[in-house]
Structure 1
């Protein structure tokens, strides 16, 4: 079980790196989730799912 959760955590981190999330956040520290979505050209569905989880 621990291996599975470690895989998911690493996959999430690697996906954020690939999308350029950390570069975007480093340059603009006060962006909303919607602003980040637009800057990274992400689909609305991902924003909707993540906002429902929080």
Structure 2
């Protein structure tokens, strides 16, 4: 992700992992959001399995 104009990024804190928590009343909404995020994430591992539908 590129830095924003006013950000003062510290190199020691960059290039790490990102954790997201997705929540919705309907599991299909969560799955759609997860797939949309994965589809628009550049450089993701193309060999990763597709996300499974929450139960």
TM-score range, shorter chain: 0.3 to 0.5
Q: Normalising by structure 1, what TM-score? A: 0.33
Higher relative contact order (CA 8 A, sep 6+): 2
TM-score, normalised with respect to structure 2? 0.32
